[in-house]
Structure 1
């Protein structure tokens, strides 16, 4: 068989082999629900029961913080928390509330090496945050301190940011924001303790200033609780000259007072 015929044969048989291998792999390792572990129709998907526990963040919501309202208060309405204490970011949006299967997805990505979940979670985030994504120039993520990154092996927020960049075509500036001070884990801390914990913890490295200064930045994180972390990160981006910062997270707690419930 000549070289041309071999190449032609390879182009035809390659996809068939890959398809067959994929089918065999699914027989040996059938896809399971990302929420409960039972068999599912596709990898990184949810079964019908888990899907029913997902609560998407839909309007009506606060125009700035993205906090959902229990009734329609009119277009452009703000929550009392935002009126009393305006955040440094322009707008924040989240895809889902942090409970049910959505909570399991977030914890699986963060603590259980389930980086395969990032694409599905990012798709939900793009749907929820299309308005602020279109109004942003570059994407950065909330960083981990290098010691915590070493112990976890990857940053879940970076995985989400990278997937969002791939879905939208917006550039992801990995390393555009750095955690310059090691902090305690926020889980279990109250609002004041969270604010103190992350105050001054972030900075834009001098060499990365041209990627931030003058640009509209989309800041990506996995879960928004009190907002202390994204507020501290936003202030660092603003100090670096960002024209505007929008915040996009996969999930948010139902109310700011519930942060200590989500260990």
Structure 2
């Protein structure tokens, strides 16, 4: 349908969006996602923060996304840890390493109400997740317990899952999985204690569990340390009949604290 000055309706809408973006950028110049430096485009990093962001581009473990020495052409390979410890999921990916800019972004998204980080993070996650995606892929975030969700007001993993699902053009169900009990903070716990703490703590919501049956599930979380939380979520998906489960996180911790 022809619009203003003979332009198609879609072209008019695109032009209006660009004009609105120009006005907003003039009134509120875009800043780096991780600092106060000015940038040309909203939702981007300045040069210094980009250098400080350790994006996963080299060879990494096919299960836990830990970086490994070697050529990416050698993939798939497993790290020593994943050769010893069984992972319930098939593949694991991470957009960043947890340190420098990556750590800043995770903490800002998780505790600083920085919802604006989720959209660009969704693009970074999609680059890693696209090769794993199937026609029947369902994107699910790792859930927060209702008490923690009430205190924080949002689930940062759900924000990432929704942004990733938009990039992949796949459905996301942020409330399909739930925490059956409070598990407390994992920081300071040993590896064994982390897994014990998360055992059986995640389950599918009973009335929606059938949405998982026979499908490929892509689990999303903000950070992977030991993988205990993701393992509990993956096991819950398989218990509900998932055909396969892969996991992806915004940042991979290199060593357990």
Same fold (TM over 0.5): yes
Q: State the match for 1:71 in structure 2.
A: 70
Contact kept in structure 2, 1:126 and 1:133, CA below 8 Å: no
Which residues in structure 2 correspond to 1:196-207 (within 5 Å)? Answer: 196-207=196-207
Q: State the match for 1:232 in structure 2.
A: 232
Contact kept in structure 2, 1:136 and 1:246, CA below 8 Å: no
TM-fit CA distance, 1:15 = 7.2
Structure-2 separation of matches of 1:16 and 1:77: 47
For residues 26-79 of structure 1, the C-alpha deviation after alignment (integer angstroms, 9 at most, x for no partner) is 333221111122222222211001101111223322223222212349443222
Matching of residue 248 in structure 1 with residue 248 in structure 2: yes
SS of the counterpart of 1:247?
strand
The Cα RMSD (Å) is: 2.3
Structure-1 separation of matches of 2:212 and 2:13: 44
Contact kept in structure 2, 1:189 and 1:259, CA below 8 Å: no
Contact kept in structure 2, 1:34 and 1:46, CA below 8 Å: yes
TM-fit CA distance, 1:14 = 8.0
Q: Call closer, same or farther: CA 1:213–1:13 in 2, change over 3 Å.
A: closer
Structure-1 separation of matches of 2:21 and 2:59: 43
SS of the counterpart of 1:259?
coil
Q: Call closer, same or farther: CA 1:168–1:13 in 2, change over 3 Å.
A: closer
Contact kept in structure 2, 1:109 and 1:115, CA below 8 Å: yes
For residues 73-124 of structure 1, the C-alpha deviation after alignment (integer angstroms, 9 at most, x for no partner) is 9443222211211211111111110111121111111111111111101101
Contact kept in structure 1, 2:134 and 2:216, CA below 8 Å: no
Q: State the match for 2:96 in structure 1.
A: 96
Contact kept in structure 1, 2:210 and 2:240, CA below 8 Å: no
Larger Rg: 1
Which residues in structure 2 correspond to 1:1-263 (within 5 Å)? Answer: 8=4, 21-72=20-71, 74-134=74-134, 137-254=137-254, 258-260=255-257
Gaps of 5+ in 2: none
Q: TM-score, normalised by structure 1?
A: 0.86
Q: TM-score, normalised by structure 2?
A: 0.88
Structure-1 separation of matches of 2:18 and 2:162: 27
Structure-2 separation of matches of 1:95 and 1:162: 16
SS of the counterpart of 2:151?
helix
Equivalenced residues, count:
250
TM-fit CA distance, 1:217 = 0.6
Gaps of 5+ in 1: 1-6
Structure-1 separation of matches of 2:229 and 2:38: 36
